[in-house]
């Protein structure tokens, strides 16, 4: 499978290249960037300098489409869109018309994905559909943390009364485009809550919870903390009647029995962001207080929350084990 990247100089794309540079069945094609044309990959991403991919240069806009148009057979080509949602909505139909597949890292196709012929790219929910997809909408990092914590509770959806989502994210979640509010000098010493009047990920979270059958109302408080990467969710689920410890334990162990990279920690054991850093892993633990369940979920927002999850889906497309090249690198 040949993989091209549009928007290849962003944080998510750099993480993707780190995972894929030595992949056994996926080879890297064009690396297109509107902001870094002609720049050497290792200049933009110093941690890739020691690798062969670090000597590549970024191509100009339009290169990927031209490359696909010149190919007689594009069935084995996949294009990762790592730019804005406006770019994705414009260019994805053109790529699909040329016969290649698309994996979009933006939020362009996450809502009402099936209306666009897209599959929501969360393997823990949609493995079989992802493997056959032409267009994959990679989930956001906040929804990923939320859903990993709540998917095992789908069978208890009718007993869920309310949900509180308290999720803290590293600064890299804001992307690479400079913003004053995302500067370390602005955030050092702060834990900043934002999006309190409506965060952009709320509709995505609501959509996927409803797909699980969870109709309970939820309150979402996203916060940014002064670390480069990492995400910790504290999810509180209020049940109408207290579930048993055995029922909760069985729900999580059964749900994730065949999910590589998801570690279920003993109750009351907090996830470690250092343990999941630069990986596609997730750590989960839970504690039951009568009718209230607290679930803690830790991921790397650039790993499991973005590029790592994308590679997981690409592996499903390539018909290789989904954990291929996703161990700590």
Mean predicted confidence (pLDDT) in 304-314: 97
- The single residue listed with the structure tokens 């209306």 is 115
Q: Mark whether 35 and 70 lie in a shared domain.
A: yes
Q: Mark whether 21 and 117 lie in a shared domain.
A: yes
Q: Mark whether 70 and 101 lie in a shared domain.
A: yes
Whole-angstrom distance, CA of residue 258 vs CA of residue 41: 36
Question: Model confidence over 44-56: pLDDT tens digits?
Answer: 999 999 999 999 9
Token readout for 255 is 């749900």
Q: Mark whether 187 and 68 lie in a shared domain.
A: no
Q: Mark whether 79 and 203 lie in a shared domain.
A: no
Q: Mark whether 163 and 265 lie in a shared domain.
A: yes
Question: Model confidence over 80-113: pLDDT tens digits?
Answer: 999 999 999 999 999 999 999 999 999 999 998 7
In a domain, 79, yes or no: yes
Whole-angstrom distance, CA of residue 33 vs CA of residue 254: 43
Return the pLDDT at 179: 63
The model's pTM is 0.93
Whole-angstrom distance, CA of residue 104 vs CA of residue 95: 12
Give the least confident one: 78-87, 145-154, 246-255, 319-328.
Answer: 319-328
CB contact at 8 A, 33 and 59: yes
Q: Mark whether 135 and 188 lie in a shared domain.
A: no
Return the pLDDT at 171: 84
Return the pLDDT at 112: 82
What value does the mean pLDDT of the chain take? 93
Return the pLDDT at 292: 98
Query: How many distinct structural domains can be found in the chain?
Result: 2
> DSSP string spanning 45-56?
-GGGTTSGGGG-
Domain range for 26: 2-139+305-317
Element (H, E) at 123: helix 123-131
From 71, 141, 255, 297, active-site residue: 141
Return the pLDDT at 114: 76
In a domain, 324, yes or no: no
Token readout for 21 is 């540079």
Phi, psi of 47 (to 5 degrees): -70, -5
Rounded (5°) CA angle 314-320-323: 75
CB contact at 8 A, 283 and 271: yes
Phi, psi of 65 (to 5 degrees): -60, -40
- Note if 255 is an active site residue: no
pLDDT at residue 260 is higher than 80: yes
Q: Which residue has the higher pLDDT, 94 or 178?
A: 94
Which CATH number does the domain housing residue 6 bear? 3.40.50.720
pLDDT at residue 329 is higher than 70: no
Whole-angstrom distance, CA of residue 304 vs CA of residue 144: 8
Whole-angstrom distance, CA of residue 103 vs CA of residue 80: 5
Token readout for 308 is 């790592």
pLDDT at residue 328 is higher than 60: no
Rounded (5°) CA angle 211-217-223: 95
Q: Which residue has the higher pLDDT, 191 or 306?
A: 306
Return the pLDDT at 56: 97
CB contact at 8 A, 162 and 217: yes
């Amino acid at each position: 499978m040949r993989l091209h990247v549009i928007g290849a100089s962003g944080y998510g794309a750099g993480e993707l290249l780190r995972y894929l540079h030595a992949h056994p069945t996926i080879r890297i094609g064009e690396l297109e960037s509107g902001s870094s044309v002609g720049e050497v990959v290792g200049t933009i991403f110093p941690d890739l300098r020691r690798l062969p991919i670090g000597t590549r240069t970024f191509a100009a806009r339009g290169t990927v489409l031209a490359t696909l148009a010149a190919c007689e057979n594009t069935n084995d080509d996949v294009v990762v869109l790592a730019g804005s949602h406006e770019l994705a909505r414009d260019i994805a139909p053109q790529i699909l018309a040329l016969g290649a597949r698309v994996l979009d890292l933006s939020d362009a196709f996450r809502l009402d994905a099936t209306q666009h012929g897209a599959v929501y790219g969360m393997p823990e929910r949609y493995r079989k559909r992802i493997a056959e997809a032409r267009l994959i909408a990679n989930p956001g990092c906040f929804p990923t943390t939320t859903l990993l914590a709540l998917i095992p509770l789908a069978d208890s959806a009718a007993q869920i009364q309310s949900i509180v989502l308290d999720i803290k994210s590293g600064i890299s979640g804001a992307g690479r485009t400079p913003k004053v509010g995302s500067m370390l000098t602005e955030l050092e010493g702060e834990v900043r809550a934002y999006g309190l009047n409506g965060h952009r990920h709320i509709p995505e979270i609501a959509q996927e919870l409803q797909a699980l059958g969870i109709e309970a109302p939820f309150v979402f408080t996203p916060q940014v903390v002064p670390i480069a990467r990492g995400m910790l969710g504290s999810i509180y689920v209020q049940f109408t009647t207290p579930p048993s410890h055995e029922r909760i334990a069985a729900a999580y162990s059964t749900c994730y029995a065949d999910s590589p990279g998801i570690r279920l920690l003993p109750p009351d054991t907090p996830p470690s962001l250092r343990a999941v850093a630069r990986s596609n892993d997730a750590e989960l633990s839970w504690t039951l207080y009568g009718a209230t369940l607290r679930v803690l979920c830790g991921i790397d927002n650039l790993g499991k929350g973005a590029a790592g999850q994308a590679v997981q889906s690409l592996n499903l497309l390539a018909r290789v084990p989904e954990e291929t090249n996703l161990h700590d690198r």
